[in-house]
A and B are shown apart, each in its own frame.
Chain A
Amino acid sequence: MMCTVCGCHDHDHDHDHRLIAVEQDILGKNDAYAADNRRLFASQGVFALNLVSSPGSGKTSLLVRTVAALKDKMPVAVIEGDQQTEHDAERIRATGVAAHQINTGKGCHLDAHMVGHALEHLPTLSGGALFIENVGNLVCPAGFDLGEAHKVVILSVTEGEDKPLKYPDMFAAADLMILSKSDLLPHLRFDTAACVDFARRVNPNIEVLTLSAESGEGFAGWLEWIETRRAHCD
């Protein structure tokens, strides 16, 4: 008789196969760690954001200005994710805000387990805000829940406006798209309306803010967004 598993029929052997139903989500482990993080944030009233983008979109500059504006109003801390170096955490610490750097080595994204351990190195943020700057990568971080309240995708106006179509998973996973470096708009041919239209094709509900961490334009809207969302996350 032909073996249904390996297709062999020219020799006798005893396979003794068993079928095991697994029915497990492949990202289940990460999701379980993310749920732990989310429970911890909820118990301490911490508003956590996961910032994702390509390398060079200005995430760290955005964060430096953001934490400087918030630090006297609430407890604030930052988790930085990069393949190598402590540079970004040092830039945050220079503002007087606590930061923990995760170096992912060969890894291309943060996962919920890394974030859980990073929290051990930060002060308790009761009633405050935690910003997680993910590894600069518009692909992989889309699939990994860290336990955040919202993913925020940052797209600088020096990039192509069609990035939401080229990297749709990230824009579909985010609740807010920030168009950064808006002070450069007069020098560029970036079509903001087209960019927003592309983003809403992949995510009809995505919110959009345009700002510059350099000039500060649009920054009040971002701080207000944080304030409103933070109030809603309780």
Chain B
Amino acid sequence: MHEISLGRSVIRIVEEEAVKQAFSKVVVLRLEVGALSPVEPEALAFCFEAVAKGSPAEGARLDIIRTPGLAWCKTCATTVPLKARYDPCPHCGGHQLRIEAGAELRIKDMEVE
């Protein structure tokens, strides 16, 4: 997925918060990126610096928290851990899976001054 647009969305949220919560600079920005979300954390971190220029997030440290993936396997009738989207069920090897957790893509919190 397009990490630059996502980076810009992050900056837009930061700018809105800066007005609402009256701060001028973000020191640390913590994102939750699930193992099954369609985002490359490295690509996001790479473009973040560029899109943050001139915003309150310029120079902020970006912490990306990876949350684990879980899916419901229809065949096994149980919740199974999933390392990556489109991996087969680790028990039965099937693909009848419905993702239950790990698709998150959100700003968790930030330290500001």
B-binding residues in A (CB < 8 A): 5-6, 15-30, 107-109, 111, 139-140, 142-143, 165, 168-169, 172, 200-202, 204
Contact = CB atoms under 8 A, between A and B. Distances in A.
Interface of B: 1-2, 5-6, 9-10, 12-13, 17, 21, 23, 27-28, 31, 38, 85-86, 95-97, 105-113
Nearest to B74: A204
A26 B33 CA distance: 10
Interface pairs A-B: 6 shortest CB-CB: A140-B2, A143-B1, A22-B107, A169-B38, A201-B95, A168-B86
Contacts of B2: 108-109, 139-140, 143
Contacts of B96: 204
Contacts of A200: 95
Contacts of B28: 5
A109 B5 contact: yes
Contact of A23 (B85, B106, B112): B106
B1 A140 contact: yes
Contact of A21 (B1, B27, B97, B109): B109
B27 A143 contact: no
Given A139-B1, A168-B86, A23 B95 contact: no
Mostly, the B contact residues are mixed
A218 to B, nearest CB: 26
B1 A26 contact: no
Mostly, the A contact residues are mixed
B86 A202 contact: yes
Nearest to A173: B38
B5 A18 contact: no
B38 A142 contact: yes
Contacts of B38: 142-143, 169
B106 A204 contact: no
A217 B96 CA distance: 32
Given A26-B31, A108-B2, A169-B38, A19 B110 contact: yes
B69 to A, nearest CB: 13
A108 B21 CA distance: 33
Nearest to A168: B86
Nearest to B88: A201
A24 B106 contact: yes
A26 B17 contact: no
A64 B25 CA distance: 51
Contacts of B106: 22-26
B102 to A, nearest CB: 14
B17 to A, nearest CB: 6
Given A26-B6, A26-B13, A109-B2, A18 B111 contact: yes
A18 B9 contact: no
A17 B113 contact: yes
Given A18-B111, A143-B6, 5 more contacts: A23-B107, A25-B106, A140-B1, A172-B85, A202-B86
Instruction: Name, among A139, A140, A165, A172, the residue most crowded by chain B CB atoms within 10 Å (CB to CB).
Output: A140
